[in-house]
């Protein structure tokens, strides 16, 4: 006979949540109808009644599971339970006699002599202490937020201090960056723990690290804890191995209630109650840190001179941007001429043939600030010419920096896309962000235009000229 969970409740006297809990624990296995509803047969009802009876007798779920799986005999289980009940009866009798003795003595709480009644024979051993709060995910996310903050500081140093293009760093350099951030953590986190007992990430999740006997850690204790965490927990961010260590630590934490770096020094991590508000704050803080990292990376590309440029300052801006976005083979002199860099880092730089850079010409206002810059490239009697798109982008940004303050430069970054999306070896005029860009291309001979180059058809000789002008709109 099949029945629904409502009928099973009526037959057994157990509520729906309890029945489903037993199913989740694997103590019963009801069938399923086509519509997904559970079917409780006579076997499931009998099992539920047996579980109910044994639970009323105080038999644990683990023992009931062992009985179902044939790992333990029912008489043995009942014998153990009877022995436990007899001990409970004896303890209750002793406690009753002690209560009677204290009552008959007629003392109140203020005059009670505890030593007279403590340490009696067979007195139960108890420990009133809160169970350790296991919060592995809160601890992990707190650690991740702390690491993001250290990474933000490192990115700011590289981008704003050394003007390194973070977008050009490869996987190995990013791993080295993460290792350096761990070194920062080893130096800084002990200071935070010794002064406040927490870190920004831990404070956000209501976590605090203290000694078991109370009190904050010393710097040395905090340093030893962080070092152990970096080795045994994060494994210095070594790919794959780090994931293995995190899973291992999760397993240890759930079984023992402490992580190796806390257990070794007898430290405890206090945790405030869970809060959806804290979770929302973590999401917001993480998004803000990531956004700041991106903004700082962009800000590192800002040229040194802004808000009105002399020709010399324009040249410095161009050289800065050319170095930031690539490895230039030419530098721009203050008089507008070009100097080829024969070597770069000790290695010979191959110069593509044919393209000849002409000195820049410029126009200035009465105060000596640039109002227009013109660049040109010629090639004559050669079979190959490369489109100077990157040079044009860098010149446009170098000029744009002079057309506003630091904040106004953010919008000027769109000029790179304006130049990059134009057809190569074309002639047109664009106005964007208050700046007018004009370029004119003249090609002579039978020319084939590729993605970024022009070549003479069947190696025929071709020539041409590109003129690029930047001016205030």
pLDDT exceeds cutoff 90 at 229: yes
Q: How far is CA 252 from CA 72, 85, 132, 261, 468, in A?
A: 29, 34, 14, 12, 66
* Secondary structure (3-state) at 280: helix
**What pLDDT does 129 receive?**
56
Domain assignment of residue 405, yes or no: yes
Looking at the fold, whether 294 and 373 belong to one and the same domain comes out as no
* Secondary structure (3-state) at 459: helix
Higher local confidence (pLDDT), 460 or 5: 5
pLDDT tens digits for range 142-168: 999 999 999 999 999 999 999 999 988
**What pLDDT does 226 receive?**
96
Domain assignment of residue 130, yes or no: no
Looking at the fold, whether 64 and 80 belong to one and the same domain comes out as no
pLDDT tens digits for range 256-291: 788 999 988 888 898 888 889 999 999 999 999 999
* Secondary structure (3-state) at 455: strand
Looking at the fold, whether 156 and 286 belong to one and the same domain comes out as yes
Domain span at 85: 75-116
- The vertex-452 CA angle with 446 and 458, nearest 5°, equals 30
pLDDT tens digits for range 414-429: 898 889 888 888 898 9
Looking at the fold, whether 319 and 382 belong to one and the same domain comes out as yes
Top-ranked range on mean pLDDT: pick from 11-15, 22-26, 190-194, 441-445:
190-194
What tokens does 79 get? 């014998």
What is the number of other CB atoms lying within 10 angstroms of the CB of residue 14? 19
- Residue 274 is classified by DSSP as P
**Given pLDDT bands bounded at 50, 70 and 90, which one contains residue 7?**
confident
**What pLDDT does 121 receive?**
67
pLDDT tens digits for range 321-355: 999 988 888 899 999 999 987 644 443 333 445 67
**What pLDDT does 131 receive?**
63
**What pLDDT does 451 receive?**
82
Looking at the fold, whether 190 and 277 belong to one and the same domain comes out as yes
Element (H, E) at 447: strand 447-449
- The vertex-143 CA angle with 141 and 144, nearest 5°, equals 65
Question: Helices in 106-230 by DSSP H: which ranges?
Answer: 136-156, 171-196, 200-204, 219-229
**What pLDDT does 161 receive?**
92
Domain assignment of residue 129, yes or no: no
Looking at the fold, whether 468 and 390 belong to one and the same domain comes out as yes
- Give the Cα separation of 446 and 427 in Å (integer): 18
pLDDT exceeds cutoff 70 at 465: yes
Segment 299-304 mean pLDDT: 91
Looking at the fold, whether 378 and 242 belong to one and the same domain comes out as no
pLDDT exceeds cutoff 60 at 375: yes
What tokens does 258 get? 């402490």
Looking at the fold, whether 378 and 360 belong to one and the same domain comes out as yes
**What pLDDT does 274 receive?**
86
CATH number of the domain that 33 lies in? 1.10.1660.10
Give me the count of residues in the chain: 473
Higher local confidence (pLDDT), 372 or 254: 372
């Amino acid at each position: 006979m099949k029945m629904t969970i409502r009928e099973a409740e009526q037959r057994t006297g157990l509520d729906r949540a309890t029945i489903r809990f037993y199913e989740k624990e694997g103590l019963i296995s009801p069938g399923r109808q086509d519509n997904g509803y559970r079917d409780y047969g006579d076997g499931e009802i009998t099992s539920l009644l047996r579980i109910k009876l044994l639970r009323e007798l105080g038999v644990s779920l683990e023992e009931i599971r062992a009985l179902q799986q044939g790992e333990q005999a029912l008489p043995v289980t009942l014998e153990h339970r009877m022995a436990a009940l007899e001990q409970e009866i004896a303890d209750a009798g002793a406690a009753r006699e002690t209560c009677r003795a204290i009552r008959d003595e007629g003392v109140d709480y203020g005059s009670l002599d505890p030593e007279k009644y403590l340490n009696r024979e067979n007195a139960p051993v108890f420990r009133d202490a809160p169970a350790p709060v296991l919060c592995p995910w809160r601890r992990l996310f707190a650690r991740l937020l702390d690491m993001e903050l250290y990474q933000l500081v490192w990115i700011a140093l590289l981008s704003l201090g050394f003007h390194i293009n973070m977008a050009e760093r490869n996987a190995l350099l990013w791993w080295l960056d993460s290792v350096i951030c761990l070194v920062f953590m080893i130096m800084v986190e002990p200071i935070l723990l010794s002064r406040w007992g927490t870190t920004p990430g831990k404070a956000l999740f209501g976590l605090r690290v203290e000694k078991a006997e109370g009190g904050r850690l010393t710097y040395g204790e905090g340093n030893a804890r962080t070092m152990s965490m970096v080795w045994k927990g994060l494994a210095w961010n070594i790919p794959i191995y780090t994931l293995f260590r995190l899973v291992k630590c999760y397993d240890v934490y759930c079984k023992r209630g402490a992580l190796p770096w806390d257990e070794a020094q007898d430290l405890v991590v206090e945790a405030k109650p869970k809060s959806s508000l804290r979770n929302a704050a973590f999401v917001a803080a993480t998004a803000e840190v990531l956004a700041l990292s991106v903004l700082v990376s962009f800000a590192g590309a800002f040229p040194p001179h802004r808000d009105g440029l002399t020709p010399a300052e324009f040249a410095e801006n161009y050289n800065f941007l050319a170095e930031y976005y690539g490895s230039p083979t030419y530098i721009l002199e203050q008089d507008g001429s070009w100097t080829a860099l024969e070597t770069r880092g000790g290695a010979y730089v191959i110069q593509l043939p044919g393209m000849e850079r002409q000195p820049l010409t410029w126009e200035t206002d009465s105060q000596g600030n640039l109002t227009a810059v013109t660049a040109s490239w010629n090639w004559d009697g050669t079979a190959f010419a490369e489109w100077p798109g990157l040079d044009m982008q860098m010149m446009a940004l170098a000029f744009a920096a002079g057309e506003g303050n630091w904040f106004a430069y953010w919008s000027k970054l769109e000029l790179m896309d304006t130049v990059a999306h134009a057809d190569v070896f074309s002639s047109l005029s664009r106005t964007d962000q208050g700046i007018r860009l004009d370029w004119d291309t003249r090609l002579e001979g039978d020319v084939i235009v590729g993605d970024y180059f022009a070549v003479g058809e069947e190696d025929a000789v071709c020539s041409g000229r590109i003129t690029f002008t930047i001016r205030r709109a």
